[in-house]
Amino acid sequence: MTEKKLQVSAIQNGTVIDHIPADKLFNVINILGLNKIKNQITFGTNLESKKMGLKAIIKLSDVFFADNEINKIALVAPEAKLNIVKDYQVVEKKIVEVPDNITGIAKCGNPKCITNHEGIITKFQVVNKKKVALRCHYCEKITDSEHMEIF
Amino acid sequence: MKNKNLVSITDFSKDEVFKILDLAEEFEKNPNQNLLQGKVIATLFFEPSTRTRLSFESAISRLGGKYIGFTDAGSSSVKKGESLKDTIMTVANYSDMIIMRNPIEGSARWASEVSKVPIVNAGDGANQHPTQTLLDLYSIRKTQGTLDNLNVFFVGDLKYGRTVHSLLQAMSMFNTTYNFISPEELRIPDEYKMFLDKKGLKYYEHLDFSDIISHADIIYMTRIQRERFSDPMEYEKTKNSYVLKKNMLEKTKLNMKVLHPLPRVNEISTDVDTDEKAYYFTQALNGVYTRQAIITSILGLK
């Protein structure tokens, strides 16, 4: 038998986003706008994880995120971990943190809210970070994690 | 306060609330002044609200201003599919201030972000109705001589009643004790209880209020609508528990006053109307003075 192969190949320089829930991979891709960048991206999903059951992973060559940018994914992947890679070595590890304010990622759960009637970018204040709950800047109603829809 | 929008009651600090109430007191003494001469104020009512609209229009007229607008969405360009943003941006060119009632929640906040003139929210769906809250505060202060340390009873539909939610928030600045009296199905939502818990204020929930009525300084009555009940039988069973009758007033404090945002249906018996503890029609009159205070302070005239 030959040696087991890495499930997703390594990168030289860039960012690895690990511990994404398997079913949230495409949400993360959308939130970070990865469908619009030209860099090399490899991703895998439904990978086995001792901690999460099934997970997804994204490896981005030569992409580095600012904290406020990467923290947006905490809404869908609160346990995501970042490895910053330089010359094949992990030089920094980061965890994501739910931000205080969210702009344009989630949909307001109130069907009577103006943001669901006119093309307005949604804005929320995060009122609970543990069990994510968002207060709409417009209608002031709270959308909790169970009813949260991500664009 | 010049050019400030009034979208949500939480936009105003305690000092700003007091400024409005003090000004309203001045207007009560002298309601006819020519302060708005040459000013045009838009009253955009995307849904009908006779009382609120007439109260605003009376306030403007007594100050010598002119108003333009519409009284329901059917007679506006909304019918043709115009967006709120376009309507507001256009009307902002024609007026010095926009007063808007709109059933879509958050519409007033959005309007304030696209308008170059100040926006006054005259009700955005189940969300906010801050001018009602300010006139309620005015009525409470006027009848009690203070806003501090009062025991306020909220009766009726506490789940959907936005006037209750906004007044509850505003009164939290004044060490209020709250008594919430409602049928099971229309109890005060958890988010407001959490709000009061955070502020460390006392509140009590009851299904009936005849036994505790002697503690009230203010009884704030609201209308219970049949369509709010999932079970019509439940409505029939409970509706009479939330009606205020004249004989119930005997046990109440001397300073106690009954408030109601109106329209009233049958939740206050008509024989209460002539009792000196009934204050709801004067409360409606206070709406004119309070709105005069709001308009003139936002326009920087007072």
Chain A residue numbers with beta carbons less than 8 Å from the beta carbon of B83 are 118
What is the nearest CA distance from B273 to chain A, expressed in angstroms? 36
Residue B6 lies inside a defined structural domain of this protein: no
Does B73 lie in the same domain as B145? no
State the pTM of this model: 0.88
For residue A6, pLDDT beyond 70:
no
B277 and B141, same structural domain? yes
Closest CA in chain A for residue B195: A127
User: How far apart (Å, rounded) are the C-alpha atoms in residues B143 and B193?
Assistant: 27
Out of A114, A140, A142, name the one closest to residue B8 (CB): A140
Q: Is B206 a residue of the active site?
A: no
B contacts of A141 (beta carbons < 8 Å): 105, 127
C-alpha distance from residue B67 to each of B41, B59, B292 (Å): 5, 10, 14
pLDDT of residue A9: 67
- Same domain, yes or no: B207 and B244: yes
Cβ atoms of B116 and B92 closer than 8 Å:
yes
* Averaged pLDDT of chain A: 89
CB A74 within 8 A of CB A20: no
Q: Are residues B143 and B203 in the same domain?
A: yes
Whether B274 is catalytic is no
State the best of A139, A141, A143, A144 to mutate against chain B, taking most chain B CBs within 10 Å: A139
Structural domains present in chain A: 14-95 (3.30.70.140), 101-150 (2.30.30.20)
Verify cis geometry, omega within 30 degrees of 0, for the bond prior to B130: no
* Nearest chain A alpha carbon to B113: A138
Concatenated DSSP letters for chain A?
Answer: -PPPPPSS---SSEEEEEEEEGGGHHHHHHHTTGGG--S-EEEEEEEEETTTEEEEEEEEET----HHHHGGGGGT-TT-EEEEEETTEEEEEEE----SEEESSEEPS-TTBGGGTS----EEEEEETTTTEEEETTT--EEEGGG-EE-
Q: Are B188 and B138 members of one domain?
A: yes
Residue A90 · residue A84 · CB < 8 Å: yes
B29, B80, B116, B198: which is the annotated catalytic residue?
B80
> Where does a domain end: B128, B155, B182?
B128
Interface with chain A: mutation pick from B86, B127, B129, B165, highest number of A CBs within 10 Å: B127
Strands laid side by side in the A142-144 sheet: A101-103, A123-128, A133-136, A142-144
State yes or no: is B101 an active-site residue: yes
Same domain, B155 and B256: yes
The residues of A whose Cβ lies within 8 A of any Cβ of B are 108, 110, 112-115, 117-118, 120, 136-142
Instruction: Write out the two tokens for B202.
Output: 């006392």
Domain span at residue B246 reads 131-284
Which residues are CB-contacts of B233 (< 8 A; sequence separation ≥ 6)? none
> Using 50, 70 and 90 to split pLDDT, how confident is the model at A4?
low
Active site residue B146: no
Instruction: Please count the structural domains in chain B.
Output: 2
Residue B86's domain is classified under what CATH number?
3.40.50.1370
What is the distance in angstroms between the Cα of A33 and the nearest Cα belonging to chain B?
26
Q: What is the ipTM of this complex?
A: 0.88
Tens-level pLDDT at each residue, chain B (302 residues): 777 999 999 999 999 999 999 999 999 999 999 999 999 999 999 999 989 999 999 999 999 999 999 998 877 777 778 899 999 999 999 999 999 999 999 999 999 999 999 999 999 998 999 999 999 999 999 999 999 999 999 999 999 888 999 999 999 999 999 999 999 989 999 989 999 999 999 999 999 988 999 999 999 999 988 878 888 888 888 878 899 999 999 999 999 999 999 999 889 999 999 999 999 999 999 999 999 999 999 999 98
Instruction: Give dist(CA B134, CA B290) in Å, integer.
Output: 7
**In this structure, is residue B26 part of a structural domain?**
no
Q: Does residue B138 sit in the same domain as residue B206?
A: yes
Selecting from A114, A118, A142 the residue whose C-beta is nearest the C-beta of B105 gives A114
Is residue B133 less than 8 Å (CB to CB) from chain A?
no
Has B80 been annotated as catalytic? yes
Q: How far apart are CA B145 and CA B134, in angstroms?
A: 15
Which of A112, A118, A142 is nearest residue B105 as measured by Cβ atoms? A112
Under an 8 A CB cutoff, do A114 and B128 touch?
Answer: no
- In a domain? residue B265: yes
